[in-house]
């Protein structure tokens, strides 16, 4: 199932996406208004939807109505750094991060203020940063509360998967020698275009990822290149740390980011950033002032 969040005439509605369009779940008929509410009662709601789906009108998808699947997170986006072997290699020696002990990944968070839609404009203010970089990622949406999760059980706690771009202000990141400020500019986390539920994702470790800037392919890889698998990542974040339905975990970006290029390349106003994960979909974000 692909489920998205739409704003229709100022009202937030959930929609089930099919090949033919979208079926909006009308709030007046008792459907949940937010994705968090859907996730909390997913099994019951999915059974209910299947029983009535043939009676719900299918309409064309209007990308202008799509917003982030979870527009307001309960907590920060949890992220892994250097989680693709080729990306770790391309950034080695750049001074981008301090080293970490073997067996323990580099982790950080992005603030809730960063959430942006799959077609939203990425804010740009050169007085704040002139080194805005791209990082396409597979994101995990937690479906059930959990803590101290074993790797073998970790995927059972996943509600679904979506596309995320970890927009990064490299000059801020490097000046402060940490991640939070450089990763947490307003609107610096486009996510979407919808969530694909875990029952439709056979194996999150064999998915192609791609990122384009103005039609030029910048990143192309596969989640099989991850150093820490999706299951291992969930387990790591759950150690002594309760994960709740609707939490978002970004699982790292592959090689091809802008700051390591020669010469370095960064996003500027007017650039069109496209981010795609196989089996989920593609986002399209324009950089603007």
Task: Enumerate the domain spans of the chain.
Answer: 2-67, 77-288
CA distance linking residue 212 with residue 2, whole number of Å:
23
> 10 Å Cβ neighbour count for 128?
13
C-alpha–C-alpha distance, residues 150 and 235, integer Å: 6
Q: What would the CATH number be for the domain defined by 77-288?
A: 3.90.850.10
What is the C-alpha separation between 19 and 289, in angstroms, rounded?
A: 35
Work out whether the CA dihedral 52, 57, 59, 64 comes out positive or negative: negative
Please state the separation of Cα 49 from the chain's center in Å.
Answer: 25
| Per-position pLDDT tens, the chain of length 289 | 999 999 988 888 999 998 889 998 875 567 888 999 999 999 999 999 999 989 889 999 999 999 999 999 999 999 998 899 876 777 666 555 544 456 789 999 999 999 999 999 999 999 999 999 999 999 999 999 999 999 999 999 999 999 999 999 999 998 987 889 999 999 999 999 999 999 999 899 999 999 999 999 999 999 999 999 999 999 999 999 999 999 999 999 999 999 999 999 999 999 999 999 999 999 999 999 7
Is the distance from CB of 146 to CB of 242 less than 8 angstroms?
yes
Kind and range of the H or E run holding 278:
none
Q: 259: Cβ–Cβ under 8 A, 6 or more apart, which residues?
A: 94, 96, 131, 133, 170, 266
- How many Cβ atoms from other residues are within 10 Å of residue 47's Cβ? 9
């Amino acid at each position: 199932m692909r489920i998205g969040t739409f704003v229709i005439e100022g009202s937030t509605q959930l929609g089930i996406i099919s090949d033919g369009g979208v079926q909006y779940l009308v709030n007046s008929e008792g459907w949940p208004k937010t994705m968090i509410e859907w996730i909390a009662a997913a099994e019951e709601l999915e059974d209910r939807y299947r029983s009535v789906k043939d009676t719900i009108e299918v309409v064309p998808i209007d990308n202008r109505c799509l917003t982030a699947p979870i527009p307001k997170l309960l907590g920060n986006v949890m992220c892994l750094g250097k989680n693709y072997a080729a990306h770790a290699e391309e950034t080695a020696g750049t001074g981008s991060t301090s080293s970490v002990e073997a067996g323990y990944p580099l982790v950080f968070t992005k603030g809730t203020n960063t959430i942006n839609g799959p077609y939203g404009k990425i804010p740009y203010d050169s007085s704040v940063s002139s080194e805005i970089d791209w990082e396409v990622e597979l994101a995990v949406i937690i479906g059930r509360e959990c803590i101290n999760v074993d790797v073998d059980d970790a995927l059972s706690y996943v509600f679904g998967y979506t596309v995320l771009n970890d927009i990064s202000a490299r000059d801020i990141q490097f000046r402060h020698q940490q991640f939070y400020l450089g990763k947490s500019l307003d609107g610096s986390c486009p996510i979407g275009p919808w969530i694909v539920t875990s029952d439709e994702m056979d194996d999150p470790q064999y998915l192609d990822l791609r990122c384009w800037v103005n039609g030029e392919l910048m990143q192309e890889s596969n989640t099989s290149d991850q150093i820490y698998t999706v299951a291992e990542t969930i387990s790591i974040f759950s150690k002594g740390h309760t994960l709740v339905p609707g939490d978002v975990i970004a699982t790292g970006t592959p090689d091809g980011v802008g700051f390591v290029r020669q010469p370095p390349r960064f996003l500027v106003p007017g650039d069109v950033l496209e981010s795609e994960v196989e089996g989920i979909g593609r986002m399209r974000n324009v950089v603007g002032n």
